[in-house]
């Protein structure tokens, strides 16, 4: 196999040198409404990895990122809780593109060995509008209109690949709160600023 970034031989999707050079977690925190959003990386420094979702090789990259960063973080969080009750992972709109869903990868591999329970494809957008490169005004005028089909009265972590303006996470959290889903926090791979084309 070859490293997604530098094309050198690597057992993993990303080699050790590229992990060291580009994938050192920063743990960026933001507040979106009443939800804390934790991101591992600055979007600008990891753009090639995040944009891999638009390619077929993105499957390997998102699997790697989820196993390397998301699962250990969630495992550590669960171990820190006093009360040990099920904690679910809910992905924001696990829409399949190019044969896979990058968010579904995050939910699936984020639950592996972490102790969390994967809830797949339960938070879906009725409106398939694309937000990449769009303004906050556009996002507010074109909501995703999420609907939730999972269990009520659960504890959950919300997962998405990138946070830009926060409108998607805010809209998703409102829908989940209607079903008494207690969101501990939202977790994203990258934190981007409004207006960036992702």
**Residue range 36-83, pLDDT digits in tens:** 999 999 999 999 999 999 888 899 999 999 999 999 999 999 999 988
Structure pTM?
0.89
C-alpha distances (whole Å) from 162 to each of 103, 176, 189 are: 10, 19, 6
Tokens of 159: 């997962």
Domain presence at residue 197: no
Tokens of 94: 């696990």
**Residue 11: other Cβ atoms inside 10 A:** 8
Q: For residue 138, what is the domain's CATH number?
A: 3.40.50
Specify the number of domains making up the chain: 1
Domain presence at residue 145: yes
How high is the pLDDT of residue 197? 47
**Integer Cα distance of 90 and 120 in angstroms:** 7
> Bigger pLDDT: 130 or 169?
169
pLDDT tens-digit series, residues 125-137: 887 777 666 676 7
% of the chain at pLDDT higher than 70: 94
- Nearest CA to 64 among 157, 156, 2? 2
Domain presence at residue 179: yes
Q: Which structural domain range is residue 101 located in?
A: 24-191
Domain presence at residue 182: yes
Which residues make Cβ contacts (< 8 Å) with residue 114, sequence separation at least 6?
A: 70, 71, 72, 74, 75, 78
């Amino acid at each position: 196999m070859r490293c997604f970034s530098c094309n050198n031989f690597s057992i993993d999707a990303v080699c050790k040198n590229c992990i060291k050079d580009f994938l050192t977690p920063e743990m960026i925190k933001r507040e979106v409404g009443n939800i804390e959003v934790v991101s591992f990386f600055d979007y600008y420094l990891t753009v090639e990895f995040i944009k891999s979702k638009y390619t077929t090789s993105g499957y390997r990259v998102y699997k790697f990122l989820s196993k390397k960063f998301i699962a250990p973080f969630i495992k550590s969080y669960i171990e820190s809780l006093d009360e040990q009750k099920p904690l679910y992972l809910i992905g924001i709109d696990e829409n399949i593109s190019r044969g896979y869903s990058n968010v579904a990868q995050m939910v699936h591999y984020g639950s592996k060995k972490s102790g969390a329970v994967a809830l797949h494809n339960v938070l879906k957008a009725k409106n398939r509008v694309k937000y990449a490169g769009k303004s906050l005004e556009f996002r507010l005028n074109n909501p995703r209109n999420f609907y939730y089909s999972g269990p009520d009265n659960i504890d959950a972590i919300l997962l998405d690949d990138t946070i830009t303006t926060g409108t998607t996470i805010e809209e998703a959290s409102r829908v989940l709160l209607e079903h008494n889903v207690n969101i501990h926090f939202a977790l994203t791979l990258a934190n981007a600023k409004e207006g960036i084309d992702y």
